[in-house]
Amino acid sequence: QVQLVESGGGLVQAGGSLRLSCAASGSIFSINRMGWYRQAPGKQRELVAVITSGGSGNYADSVKGRFTISGDTAKNTVYLQMNSLEPEDTAVYYCNANLRRTGSNYNTNYWGQGTQVTVSS
């Protein structure tokens, strides 16, 4: 069994900062990539940022220059530092991991339960 546990969401004023964390635990053999997605009310889930096992990060255009993704491979943890937050960033943020479980021959996607980020104007 694999679990992704997120933390760090909350309410912040526009221009403020938040840091999200996501820790993966369980029978994990290797992690290919971890990332963050978000879903606002009435909208589809969208990619925010992703980081590969090699440390390469990719970002949605809407967050470039404001958000930074980083990882701690020893802890199987990914972080999302969000600065200069805007009301448009309000959404439920979901952690995602593409990984291989111990004893498995294929990769699987796992999702966290989601954490609410609300940015007030």
User: pLDDT digits over 37-51, tens only?
Assistant: 999 999 999 999 999
* C-alpha 38 chain-centroid distance: 8
Tens of pLDDT along 96-107? 999 999 999 999
Backbone angles phi, psi at 118, to 5 degrees: -125, 125
Q: What is the pLDDT of residue 61?
A: 98
Q: How do beta strands 108-111 and 115-120 pair?
A: unpaired
Strands 18-26 and 77-82: antiparallel
Mean residue pLDDT across the chain: 96
Of 55 and 51, more confident: 51
| Distances from the Cα of 14 to the Cα of 2, 10, 11, 84, angstroms | 35, 13, 10, 7
pLDDT at 55: 86
